[in-house]
Amino acid sequence: MKGILLFLVLITGVALTGYVSGVDKSVSSDDSVRLATKTVISNLNVAWEITWGPDNWIWFTEQGGSLSKVNPETGERKILLHIPEVYRYRSLGLLGMAVHPDPKKPYVFLDYTYKNGTSILSKLVRYTYTADTLINPVILLNDIPGATGHNGSRVTIAPDGKVMMSTGDAVKGANAQNSGSINGKILRINIDGTIPADNPFPGSPVWSLGHRNAQGLAFGRKGILFSSEHGDAVEDELNVIKKGANYGWPFVEGFCDTEKEQAFCKTTEVTVPVKSWTPVIAPAGIAYYNSSTIPGWRNSLLLVTLKTQSLRVLKLNEAGNEVLSEKTYLDHEFGRLRGVCVSPAGDVYVSTSNRDWNPGEGYPKKEDDRIIKIFPAKAGSTIVTQKKTVKPVLLPGAVIYNNYCTSCHKSDGKGIAGIFPPLKGTSQVLGDKNTLIHIMLKGLSGPITVKGQKYNQEMPAFNFLSNKDISLVASYIRTQFGNKASTVSEAEVSKVRAAKK
Ligand code: HEC
């Protein structure tokens, strides 16, 4: 059977780029079509943003600093621009891009990080496109403070023609609450870089505040703006962005539900997310879908994720401002997904991010990174149904480890040299239990040395986990990956938690 399918794929010639597969997950009660996927282009290097251009090509950025477009039918690629000034490191580089939808305004907006001495900064630049070149760069926003994490960022054009951009808090939570800082914000400017007269803080590009690190920005129906945002160890968010609203970071993560959060929400008006995710999913690009091509997806927000390597379809209510349901597609099929866009014909395109700083296990593959088309399968032969993987039954400690630790320390406990330390054979894991429990409750912010290698990054606090869960995951890492240390009890965790309050 396998042989026949492969044969059909070959003879139909649909596999222009050598890859066709179906996504049988879409066949469910309210999905009316079977979907297939096809690689449009491969061998890219983190296609951060993809967008449907006015010329019916897909325009895309690559993190290292290139802007290209690809013909979605033939896979032909044209490189339009390379910006040598771009500073790529971890999640920094050439990030957001928006192409103005009005052909009479032939503008492309790009936002990227660069270095000035040792400072990391970002700028938003507008280029004018002609047939196949980009000319007249105009800097619209300059010297936006950056950092090696929490740096955003996305750019989109509002239905009223304004340019919207998200900025990260640059690892200083206080920036997000300070309306005088440009960090941790959604910004709004005119296409010439001037400040719209109706912005909430006169003379300031700030449109909303209290954001940690929004890496998705898109308009839905009736001019409703959505952002997707990375939480810390918990509470990734999808927000509906309103003029002048405060989204609570760093005091409120997700909803106003803990005691501390409720206290803050009593004195400050906080707008809570329309949806949040714990364990985190690492949400990236978003796009609004309202085509009848995939009827089940009409009036949905499409969200791609990095950590959970999937495409989420978030069905919206009639008003377009609430999420009614969530479905997951492409689950671990192509690795980390960074960007998503929709064509006027109602086909969906996603881009992978497997050559970034934190690749999933088994990635990058040689064809990475890719742009992949998702479309209604043609009747007949080319569907290859997705394999259903049987998930092994896991120890409770393994479940917690997979949910909260694997994305950084990896399932084999080997980490990523210089970024995420190993948990295999380290003195912090195998040594004094109280120190280990303390690390898990409070997190870490460098610098530390693990097995002779320096680390100077952030590890989130896991104090929201119960004593039991901490004891399970601590025991797990002390007995896995070839580690052979004693287990940790709930009582031991309880003691450390009480002592450090
Ligand atoms: C977002 C990424 C991230 C997640 C998620 C994460 N860690 Fe870490 N972890 C780090 C980083 C980064 C360091 C080093 C911190 C530094 O440089 O100061 C670290 C350090 C550690 C250390 C001490 C150094 C060592 O390797 O022995 C332990 C132990 C540890 N983590 C355990 C865990 C456990 C258990 C979990 C899950 C409950 C977890 N971490 C989740 C990023 C992470």
Q: Which atom of ligand 1 is nearest to the CA of 458?
A: 12
Going by alpha carbons, the residue nearest to atom 2 of ligand 1 is 408
User: 57 C-alpha to center of ligand 1: Å?
Assistant: 42
Whether 424 is in the pocket of ligand 1, judged by its Cβ within 6 Å, is no
Q: Which atom of ligand 1 is nearest to the CA of 406?
A: 5
Whether 294 is in the pocket of ligand 1, judged by its Cβ within 6 Å, is no
Whether 429 is in the pocket of ligand 1, judged by its Cβ within 6 Å, is yes
CA atoms in the 13 A half-sphere facing the CB of 96 = 27
468 pLDDT more than 80: yes
Q: Does domain 396-499 have CATH number 1.10.760.10?
A: yes
Whether 423 is in the pocket of ligand 1, judged by its Cβ within 6 Å, is yes
Between CA 455 and CA 319 the distance in angstroms is 47
User: pLDDT (tens digit, 9 = 90+) per residue, 306-340?
Assistant: 999 999 999 999 999 999 999 999 989 999 999 99
303: phi then psi, degrees, rounded to nearest 5? -130, 125
Higher pLDDT, 394 or 193: 193
Domain coordinates in residue numbering, the chain: 2-376, 396-499
Sign of CA dihedral 418, 422, 425, 429: positive
Predicted confidence band of residue 11 (pLDDT cuts 50, 70, 90): very low
Domains 2-376 and 396-499 alike in fold: no
In sequence order, what E strands does 283-333 have? Answer: 283-289, 300-305, 311-316, 323-329
The top-level CATH class assigned to 2-376 is mainly beta
Between CA 285 and CA 461 the distance in angstroms is 26
Q: What is the pTM of this model?
A: 0.84
389 pLDDT more than 70: no
20 pLDDT more than 70: no
Predicted confidence band of residue 458 (pLDDT cuts 50, 70, 90): confident
- Check residue 132 and give its pLDDT: 83
Higher pLDDT, 10 or 495: 495
User: pLDDT (tens digit, 9 = 90+) per residue, 269-304?
Assistant: 999 999 999 999 999 999 999 999 999 899 999 999
User: 297 C-alpha to center of ligand 1: Å?
Assistant: 38
